Structure 1
Amino acid sequence: MSRFLFVVPPLTGHLNPAVGVAAELTARGHRVAWACVEPELVERLAGPAAGTVFACGAAPRGERPADLRGPQALKFLWEWYLLPLAEAMAPGVRAAVEAFRPQAVVADQQAFAGALVAERLGLPWATSATTSAELTDPLAGLPKVGEWLDGRLAELRSAIGDPAGTADPRFSPHLVLAFSTPELAGEARPGVRWVGPSITSRPCGSDFPWEWLDGGRATVLVTLGTANTDVGGRFLEVCRSALRERADRVQGVIVDPGGALEPGSDDKDVLVLPHVPQLALLARLERRGGAVVCHAGHNSVCEALWHGVPLVVAPIRDDQPVVAGQVADAGAGVRVRFGRVTVRQLGAAIDSVLDEPGHRAAAGRIRTAFRAAGGSTAAATHLEDLAGEFG
Structure 2
Amino acid sequence: MPIDALSPADTPAPATPPSAGPAQRLLIVVPPLAGHLLPARALALAWAARGHQVAWVGPDSALRPLLGPEALVHPTGARLFREQAVGGAAAVRSLWDGFVVPHTRFTLAAVRRAVERWRPDVVLVDQHSPAGALAAHAAGVRWATFAPSSLELGDPLGRNGELTSWRDGVLRGLWERAGLPAAEFTDPRFSPGLVIAPTCAELAGLDPVPAEYALVGPLLAARPEPPFRWDRLVPGRRRVLVTMGTLSAEVAGDFLHRTAAALAELPDVQPVVAGPAGVRLPPDAVAGERVPVLELLERGAVDAVLCHGGMNTVGETLVHGRPLVVAPIRHDQPVTAGRLAALGAAVRVDFATATSEQLRAALRRVLDDPSYRAAARRLGRQLRAGGGAVAAVDRLERFARAPR
> What TM-score does the superposition give when structure 1 sets the normalisation length?
0.93
Q: How many angstroms does 1:325 deviate by?
A: 0.9
Offset from partner CA, 1:11-67 (integer Å, 9 cap, x none): 10011111011101111110100001x2233222223553x10112434421235xx
Offset from partner CA, 1:107-145 (integer Å, 9 cap, x none): 001101001111111111000010123211122421011
Tell me the distance in 1 between the aligned counterparts of 2:306 and 2:328.
11
- The structure 2 residue matched to 1:279, chosen from 294, 303, 310, is 294
The residue number in structure 2 matching 1:267 is 283
Are positions 1:85 and 2:95 aligned together?
A: no
Contact 1:60–1:80 at 8 Å: present in 2 too?
no
Offset from partner CA, 1:169-205 (integer Å, 9 cap, x none): 1111010001100132221562311111101111234
The residue number in structure 2 matching 1:335 is 348
Q: How many angstroms does 1:244 deviate by?
A: 1.1
Tell me the distance in 2 between the aligned counterparts of 1:224 and 1:137.
25
The residue number in structure 1 matching 2:204 is 185
Mark the CA change 1:161 to 1:196 in structure 2 (over 3 Å): closer, same or farther.
Answer: farther
Contact 1:294–1:311 at 8 Å: present in 2 too?
yes
Contact 1:23–1:49 at 8 Å: present in 2 too?
no
Classify the secondary structure of the residue corresponding to 1:136. Answer: coil
Mark the CA change 1:92 to 1:182 in structure 2 (over 3 Å): closer, same or farther.
Answer: same
Q: Which amino acid aligns with 2:64?
A: E
Within-5 A mapping of 1:26-37:
26-36=48-58
- The structure 2 residue matched to 1:210, chosen from 230, 243, 255, is 230
Contact 1:312–1:350 at 8 Å: present in 2 too?
yes
Q: Which amino acid aligns with 2:140?
A: G
The residue number in structure 2 matching 1:221 is 241
The residue number in structure 2 matching 1:230 is 250
The residue number in structure 1 matching 2:154 is 136
Q: How many angstroms does 1:384 deviate by?
A: 0.6
Classify the secondary structure of the residue corresponding to 2:153. Answer: helix
Are positions 1:370 and 2:386 aligned together?
A: no
Tell me the distance in 2 between the aligned counterparts of 1:40 and 1:376.
25
Higher helix proportion (structure 1 or 2): 1
Tell me the distance in 2 between the aligned counterparts of 1:377 and 1:234.
40
Contact 2:172–2:185 at 8 Å: present in 1 too?
no
Tell me the distance in 1 between the aligned counterparts of 2:184 and 2:213.
21
- The structure 2 residue matched to 1:197, chosen from 218, 223, 226, is 218
Tell me the distance in 1 between the aligned counterparts of 2:389 and 2:229.
31
The residue number in structure 1 matching 2:135 is 117
Offset from partner CA, 1:224-248 (integer Å, 9 cap, x none): 100011110111011111111112x
The residue number in structure 1 matching 2:144 is 126
Higher relative contact order (CA 8 A, sep 6+): 2
Q: How many angstroms does 1:275 deviate by?
A: 0.7
Tell me the distance in 1 between the aligned counterparts of 2:158 and 2:261.
39
Within-5 A mapping of 1:350-361:
350-361=363-374
Tell me the distance in 2 between the aligned counterparts of 1:298 and 1:140.
19
The residue number in structure 2 matching 1:45 is 66
Tell me the distance in 2 between the aligned counterparts of 1:314 and 1:262.
18
Classify the secondary structure of the residue corresponding to 2:98. Answer: helix
Tell me the distance in 2 between the aligned counterparts of 1:214 and 1:376.
34
- The structure 2 residue matched to 1:246, chosen from 266, 271, 290, is 266
Tell me the distance in 1 between the aligned counterparts of 2:380 and 2:358.
27
- Flag as ranges the 4+ runs of structure 1 deviating above 6 A: none
Of all paired residues, the percent bearing the same amino acid is 44
Contact 2:241–2:273 at 8 Å: present in 1 too?
yes
The residue number in structure 2 matching 1:308 is 321
Q: How many angstroms does 1:309 deviate by?
A: 1.0
Q: How many angstroms does 1:212 deviate by?
A: 0.6
Contact 1:117–1:161 at 8 Å: present in 2 too?
no
Tell me the distance in 1 between the aligned counterparts of 2:246 and 2:155.
26
Contact 2:241–2:302 at 8 Å: present in 1 too?
no
Are positions 1:9 and 2:31 aligned together?
A: yes
Q: What's the C-alpha RMSD, in Å, of the aligned pairs?
A: 1.6
Please list every run of 5 or more consecutive structure 2 residues that lacks an aligned counterpart in the other structure: 1-22
Q: How many angstroms does 1:74 deviate by?
A: 1.4
Tell me the distance in 1 between the aligned counterparts of 2:249 and 2:134.
32
Contact 1:236–1:254 at 8 Å: present in 2 too?
no
Mark the CA change 1:275 to 1:161 in structure 2 (over 3 Å): closer, same or farther.
Answer: farther
Q: Which amino acid aligns with 1:203?
A: P
Q: Which amino acid aligns with 1:87?
A: R
Offset from partner CA, 1:274-327 (integer Å, 9 cap, x none): 11111111123xx35610000001111111112111100000011110011111
Contact 2:31–2:37 at 8 Å: present in 1 too?
yes
Contact 2:151–2:331 at 8 Å: present in 1 too?
no
Tell me the distance in 1 between the aligned counterparts of 2:301 and 2:46.
30
Tell me the distance in 2 between the aligned counterparts of 1:230 and 1:370.
31
Tell me the distance in 2 between the aligned counterparts of 1:361 and 1:111.
37
Classify the secondary structure of the residue corresponding to 1:147. Answer: helix
